Amino acid sequence: MQQHGDQYIGGAWRDSLGSESIAVLNPATEEVLASVPAGTAEDVDTAVAAARAAARAWGATAPEERLAYLTRLRDGLAARQSEIAGTVVAELGAPIGFATAVQAGLPLAVAQSYLDILAGYAFTEQVGNSIVYAEPAGVVAAITPWNYPLHQIVAKVVPALAAGCTVVLKPAEDTPLVARLFAAIVHEAGLPAGVFNLVTGVGAVAGAALAGHPGVDLVSFTGSTAVGRLIAETAGGGVKRVALELGGKSANVVLPGADLTRAVSVNVGNVMSNSGQTCSAWTRLLVPADQYQEAVAIAVKAAAKYVPGDPAAAETRLGPVVSAKQRARVRGYIETAVREGARVATGGAEPPEGLDRGFYVRPTILADVTPEMTVAQEEIFGPVLSILAYRDEEHALEIANGTDYGLAGGVWAADNETAVAFARRMDTGQVDINGGRFNPIAPFGGYKGSGVGRELGRHGLEEFLQPKSLQF
């Protein structure tokens, strides 16, 4: 077991100022992988001071200079793809194939996208008799989740650095090892001391201290809507900017005339990926009432391909969820669904056969779900798909928009025009049309309780910039 007692602050690894530690578990075996320091408010103070001291000089660098540093950072991510994937398999339980392609591959693609954007971005603009400068927002607190641990780090830290901001990162306590690996890559890239800082710790201590710190100018948080509200309240007291990427309860709407088999099969794959621990997952499948039973049968057949197993094995498509707490949460939602009248078409709350250790959940399809049920309203964050029937298009739209969330969604129709017309009426930030692929340079973020602001692409860079006008 690796025992780490240091934080990355001011360009060096320094002993944490607290005495407590966090045990990092392997969710497939329940064994302790490592321990990291449970950072204190004093650690946060030190890190913010380092970021503040570096902010003015880093913000004044030419974009070409920042581009050179970030290119070395990108090269470090590329060189360590195998190590990154293995780390995420160990601490998150993501299957090795998925960890390689997505958990390691996507952050590399996102980093490259920001190199491309930075190389061509105009930080000044003539507007009438004014020159408008896009200047860095200042010191950024980046608070990231465990489900896509490196992707979320890269999606915040790289555009913040590209904008000329300095950063203090507080990663999720369940998956801090890949964050430490990222800090090592930053160090190898030679960024100036204090430009990037890492403090591991629990949200209620280190995260809260960071969100409310008077030396922080902008808080970028990804996580639950409940915690996002608290961070927004805390940041608001200090008149800080916030960027919040929060929960989702996304609807995948299959309109009459669509390819039902493909739509349902893709939906099942979407929900089972990363063991359902994806904020934008299509956890509600909406199908016409006269095709309902056929859709359930297709979903059950598709779910059978996702057999829980060892995430380190190449053939595994469904690993464990991240923790015992998460497993209890997901199983609890399945039990609640049954009590409220839903039917388990496959899966269920019982432990998977042959897996006595590890935080495993059966891939579950819930049928006879109605819009007011808990599983149709609240984010489960596990391999659970709810299938709902609708009467007509207006009823489908009412169901799709009938939650507190609005992060993502899908629409399937006989033609793209029909799907687009429906998608434009959905209260959500991203919609995939007839199976459209994820685009890492398109803005990602939500409506309503799913957040404020956008990540990825040009919009993601501009979250970390602020305009200054000079009149002549």
pLDDT of 360-393, one tens digit each? 999 999 999 999 999 999 999 999 999 999 999 9
Percent of the chain scoring above 70 in pLDDT: 100
Residue 206 resides in a domain: yes
Domain extent, residue 264, equals 251-440
Count how many domains the chain has: 2
What's the confidence (pLDDT) of residue 305?
97
Please tell me whether residues 44 and 154 are part of one structural domain: yes
Average pLDDT over residues 84-101: 98
Give the span between the Cα atoms of 298 and 311, in whole angstroms.
26
Sheet strands side by side (includes 2-3): 2-3, 32-37, 21-25
Helical packing angle, 149-163 and 63-79, nearest 10°: 160
Quote the distance between the C-alpha of residue 320 and its chain's center: 18
Please tell me whether residues 271 and 294 are part of one structural domain: yes
Please tell me whether residues 217 and 269 are part of one structural domain: no
Please tell me whether residues 241 and 259 are part of one structural domain: no
CATH code of the domain in which 262 resides:
3.40.309.10
**Catalytic residue numbers, as ranges:** 245, 279
Please tell me whether residues 184 and 60 are part of one structural domain: yes
Residue 74 resides in a domain: yes
Dihedral (C-alpha) 161, 164, 170, 174: value to the nearest 10 degrees? -20
Average pLDDT over residues 339-352: 97
Please tell me whether residues 467 and 397 are part of one structural domain: no
pLDDT band, very low/low/confident/very high, at 1 (cuts 50, 70, 90): confident
Please tell me whether residues 22 and 73 are part of one structural domain: yes
pLDDT in tens, 24-72: 999 999 999 999 999 999 999 999 999 999 999 999 999 999 999 999 9
Residue 445 resides in a domain: no
Please tell me whether residues 242 and 257 are part of one structural domain: no
